[in-house]
A and B are shown apart, each in its own frame.
Chain A
């Protein structure tokens, strides 16, 4: 049951000492009510109040941070079962797995790839998030050496996959202060693993053969003092994953089973179809996904799906309306009108850049709708185009009066001409043909 800010306030020390980082106890209470701060930040709270508050105010799924620095990422803190109810906030980290028996060259190659590879979609750089290194050799030295190779090359979040505490300790001498994720504590070894995780302040994966076992294990590990937990459901089939993962998400967000309020880990590389497992993990609540280094065909699809599922469908990614330049356009350069949906903007911009003809892009405010969608919804009108030309001072930027509109906006061409006094040229429907079109039709 969530508490209201005022109920929370009643339980606070009311010293208004600001030590929690908030100006007053009341503002701290308001933040707690929204799950936006942590009870532990107030040093003066009595234990009874703390017990009540931490159970009810922390986010239903704990936020767990992996790595440090620029490439670190946080997972958890999700609130819904369906993305349309709100949105999903923290996209899963996808990390490439390598065995410590690989050659240093192989390890280096994967590290460099994860460090450098990025794939830009809709103006956003999509990347893989880190490296999982497995102690396949069984030797602590091998494991440590592999970690050393990675650490010398990149500051990437790591997952240390080992069952031998000695191997972990050896590896942690190289990366212990960089918050690697340790995989995995089990009912048999959790005390030792917790001690190591606690010593280095690392998040810890707990691995259980059932939901019951995981709930018990999380209780045991928090008792040992490790709070940053991630749960490996060790599924044997996709169905087992989807059932367990959905169960855990539901029981966590309703706060019926606070012991399950942790992000989920999925090792896709041990599932029979890795690609499918990744798709499943992205769609159904996995927060850390491990896979072998993916071929580029799979890599793009996986990153695009992740971007899609973690985009809020209620708010399309938008550009600020305005006059944008491609290259260094002069007074005679063409002006191409389009909508402020990011996908449309970046698609058109990409093709315009490859034509190498400097030009202007006039971006009008269709509230983030694509061309066809905006036309169908009546969000793209001659009045909008006329006002945008005025507002962004296009008349002073160019000496001609010609406007190229998207092919799909052709039903509006007459009305735009009338409203603006500009000559309208209807461009192709597909932006891929814009180069050819400009080449043939744009003669100044």
Chain B
């Protein structure tokens, strides 16, 4: 008997392009095509499918960032252009995810500064970018448009659309041909609903990345893991409204009790281990972009993904 896996999948994950090279109308040194999977993560038997992407998260106002990262990265955190450059050439990430945390200040109104920040990051790294815009509905429209405009031609990934507020970001994405992160709180049906809303206002499927929300390890990850698996499963079964690549960002990981209260000698190690464990397990569940905040997590994930994509995938002879 042949001991083969057999799933009766009928569909595949939609492909999404991130970043644009010169030939593609942008200025990035590379671009990524993610999605395209036809089975569960890492079971692909054909060569050539790519490993999950690793995105390093930075921000333009470090007051909102974990002290662990601030200590580790030092002065870089005060200059997001330099920080982005180091994330690219020093930390070795695949993408940069910029959070415009400056817009979280009360009564923020300096919209032109948003454009400048995005431009400075674009000019300091030639990696594809994810930009996290405002957190405040009142300024969403202006902030997202500014980001979209500053990154025109670069096929940015813009975040984050939610069920209650997705119009401004979708409008900016459509105006400048960027993609959108669609976030819903750990629920397959909510993820689907939001994608339908986005579709209805005209955003095409190949411009959406699903963020099912990643609860941190020990603080909701048990739910997030299954939400990711179920989205992938539904997609492969043929639900086109869920057939988008998944992004995982365990934003709360560095603030959980176990890490916050760890002694200084071991705090970095614990933070890295928790981020690494969460990111790797999320990739196994179906995430194709893994976001991290600690630089030391990047090489670990990179190495693990290489082994998961080793191509040594025979079940061992027939």
Q: Report yes or no: B316 in contact with A210, Cβ–Cβ below 8 A.
A: yes
Chain B contacts for A304, CB-based, 8 A: 217-218, 258, 274, 277
Is residue B246 contacting chain A, with contact meaning CB distance below 8 A?
no
Q: Report yes or no: A313 in contact with B315, Cβ–Cβ below 8 A.
A: no
Complex partner residue of B284 from A210, A283, A350, CB under 8 angstroms: A283
Is residue A402 contacting chain B, with contact meaning CB distance below 8 A?
no
Stretch with Cβ within 8 A of A (4 or more), from B22-30, B89-97, B226-234:
B226-234
B260 CB → nearest A CB, Å: 7
Is residue B65 contacting chain A, with contact meaning CB distance below 8 A?
no
With A210-B317, A212-B317 already in contact, the answer to whether A279 and B310 are too (CB < 8 A) is no
Q: Report yes or no: A284 in contact with B284, Cβ–Cβ below 8 A.
A: yes
Bound-state Cα–Cα, A71 to B230, Å:
35
Chain A contacts for B273, CB-based, 8 A: 275, 297-298, 300-301
Chain A contacts for B311, CB-based, 8 A: 239
Q: Report yes or no: B258 in contact with A300, Cβ–Cβ below 8 A.
A: yes
Q: Report yes or no: B5 in contact with A82, Cβ–Cβ below 8 A.
A: no
* Residue ID in chain A nearest B308 by CB atoms: A238
Within 8 A of B (CB), among A221-260: 236-240, 242-244, 246-247, 250-251, 257, 260
A309-338 to B contact mask, C-beta < 8 Å, 1/0: 101010000000000000000000000000
Complex partner residue of B316 from A211, A239, A271, CB under 8 angstroms: A211
Q: Report yes or no: A84 in contact with B230, Cβ–Cβ below 8 A.
A: yes
Q: Report yes or no: A273 in contact with B307, Cβ–Cβ below 8 A.
A: yes
Within 8 A of B (CB), among A289-308: 295-298, 300-302, 304-305, 307-308
Bound-state Cα–Cα, A260 to B3, Å:
10
Complex partner residue of A212 from B45, B260, B318, CB under 8 angstroms: B318
Within 8 A of A (CB), among B199-236: 217-219, 221-223, 225-226, 229-230, 233
Chain A contacts for B276, CB-based, 8 A: 275-276, 301
With A84-B229, A246-B40, A298-B273 already in contact, the answer to whether A276 and B280 are too (CB < 8 A) is yes
Is residue A115 contacting chain B, with contact meaning CB distance below 8 A?
no
Please report the total number of B residues contacting A with Cβ < 8 Å.
52
A377 CB → nearest B CB, Å: 10
Q: Report yes or no: A308 in contact with B312, Cβ–Cβ below 8 A.
A: no
**Could you say which of B222, B223, B281 has the most chain A C-beta atoms within 10 Å of its C-beta?**
B222
Is residue A432 contacting chain B, with contact meaning CB distance below 8 A?
yes
* Residue ID in chain A nearest B263 by CB atoms: A296
Chain A contacts for B274, CB-based, 8 A: 300-301, 304
Q: Report yes or no: A212 in contact with B316, Cβ–Cβ below 8 A.
A: yes
Q: Report yes or no: A237 in contact with B266, Cβ–Cβ below 8 A.
A: no
Q: Report yes or no: A309 in contact with B3, Cβ–Cβ below 8 A.
A: no
Chain B contacts for A307, CB-based, 8 A: 218
A78-90 to B contact mask, C-beta < 8 Å, 1/0: 0000111000000
**Could you say which of B3, B309, B310 has the most chain A C-beta atoms within 10 Å of its C-beta?**
B3
Chain A contacts for B3, CB-based, 8 A: 211-212, 215, 247, 251, 257, 260
Q: Report yes or no: A301 in contact with B304, Cβ–Cβ below 8 A.
A: no
Chain B contacts for A347, CB-based, 8 A: 257
B31-53 to A contact mask, C-beta < 8 Å, 1/0: 00000000010110100000000
* Residue ID in chain A nearest B284 by CB atoms: A283
Complex partner residue of B309 from A239, A271, A272, A311, CB under 8 angstroms: A239
A-B contact count (CB 8 A): 157
B287 CB → nearest A CB, Å: 12
Complex partner residue of A308 from B5, B225, B317, CB under 8 angstroms: B225
Bound-state Cα–Cα, A215 to B3, Å:
9
Is residue B193 contacting chain A, with contact meaning CB distance below 8 A?
no
A264 CB → nearest B CB, Å: 13
Bound-state Cα–Cα, A77 to B269, Å:
36
Is residue B107 contacting chain A, with contact meaning CB distance below 8 A?
no
Chain B contacts for A376, CB-based, 8 A: 185
* Residue ID in chain B nearest A121 by CB atoms: B218
Q: Report yes or no: B257 in contact with A242, Cβ–Cβ below 8 A.
A: no
Is residue A209 contacting chain B, with contact meaning CB distance below 8 A?
yes
Bound-state Cα–Cα, A329 to B272, Å:
40
* Residue ID in chain B nearest A305 by CB atoms: B277
Complex partner residue of A239 from B225, B260, B308, B318, CB under 8 angstroms: B308
A415-444 to B contact mask, C-beta < 8 Å, 1/0: 000000000000000001000000000000
* Residue ID in chain B nearest A254 by CB atoms: B6
Is residue B109 contacting chain A, with contact meaning CB distance below 8 A?
no
Complex partner residue of A343 from B185, B219, B258, CB under 8 angstroms: B219
Chain A contacts for B223, CB-based, 8 A: 313
Q: Report yes or no: A82 in contact with B226, Cβ–Cβ below 8 A.
A: yes
Chain A contacts for B233, CB-based, 8 A: 82
Q: Report yes or no: B284 in contact with A280, Cβ–Cβ below 8 A.
A: yes
Is residue A213 contacting chain B, with contact meaning CB distance below 8 A?
yes
Q: Report yes or no: B317 in contact with A246, Cβ–Cβ below 8 A.
A: no
A2 CB → nearest B CB, Å: 20
Complex partner residue of B314 from A121, A240, A301, CB under 8 angstroms: A240
Q: Report yes or no: B316 in contact with A209, Cβ–Cβ below 8 A.
A: yes
Q: Report yes or no: B218 in contact with A246, Cβ–Cβ below 8 A.
A: no
Between-chain CB contacts (< 8 Å), 11 pairs: A210-B316, A237-B307, A243-B5, A260-B3, A275-B277, A280-B280, A284-B284, A297-B272, A305-B217, A309-B222, A313-B226
Q: A243-B314, A297-B262 are in contact. List 8 more A-B contacts (CB 8 A).
A: A84-B229, A238-B310, A276-B280, A280-B308, A305-B277, A307-B218, A343-B219, A376-B185
Q: Which residues of A contact B (CB under 8 A)?
A: 82-84, 121, 208-213, 215, 236-240, 242-244, 246-247, 250-251, 257, 260, 271-273, 275-276, 279-280, 282-284, 295-298, 300-302, 304-305, 307-309, 311, 313, 343, 347, 350, 376, 432
